[in-house]
Copies of this chain bind each other. A is one copy, B any other.
Amino acid sequence: MLKKESQNLEIDNLDIDILKQLMQDATKPYTEIAKDLIVSGGTIHVRMKKLQEMGIIKGSHLIIDPQKAGYDVTAFLGIYLEKGIQYKDAVAQLSKIKEVVELHYTTGAYSMFAKIICRDTSHLRHVLNEEIQAVPGIQRTETLISLEESIRRQIEL
């Protein structure tokens, strides 16, 4: 017997429609989605199970307002690594810094690119000067501070 991967691995329009709705509000009841799409609740359930097994759905997050939670400063960091430094080691070090919420290995001017969220400017200064600079292999960084987040959304399927 083959592994159960041999099931239907395709995504149709119904799957897309379900994802579209849940990407905006992950707590929307299946029954309501079913009404909108004119299928039964059971069908939604089967599709969701398939999408989860396929790994397309990675989970769900509660979206909080960072500013109202006391995190007022968003910054981007272009990072220059020293030659010969293992990228993986730098990632391991940076992942220990809780304020780093996103890290990319990039082409272009920088070796790596990070997004950082801090309480205020003094908190940011501490993270930059004490935490980031302490990571071995980081040669230099360039900071871009976000004065306003004008757009924030998910991809449209």
Binding site for B on A (CB under 8 A): 19, 22-27, 54-66, 68-69, 71, 74, 76, 91, 94-95, 98-110, 112-114, 117, 142-157
Contacts and interface: CB of A to CB of B under 8 A. Distances in A.
A60 B57 contact: no
Contacts of A152: 101-103
Contacts of A149: 102-104
Contacts of A24: 59, 61
Contact of A23 (B64, B100, B143): B64
A91 B151 contact: yes
A42 to B, nearest CB: 18
Contact of A144 (B57, B61, B100, B113): B113
Contacts of A27: 26-27, 60
A144 B109 contact: yes
A104 B146 contact: yes
Contact of A98 (B76, B100, B105, B156): B156
Counting from the closest, the 3 A-B pairs by CB-CB distance are A103-B151, A104-B146, A108-B144
Contacts of A100: 151
Nearest to A106: B144
A63 B59 contact: yes
Given A65-B55, A150-B91, A151-B103, A60 B25 contact: yes
Nearest to A94: B151
Contacts of A104: 74, 76, 144, 146-150
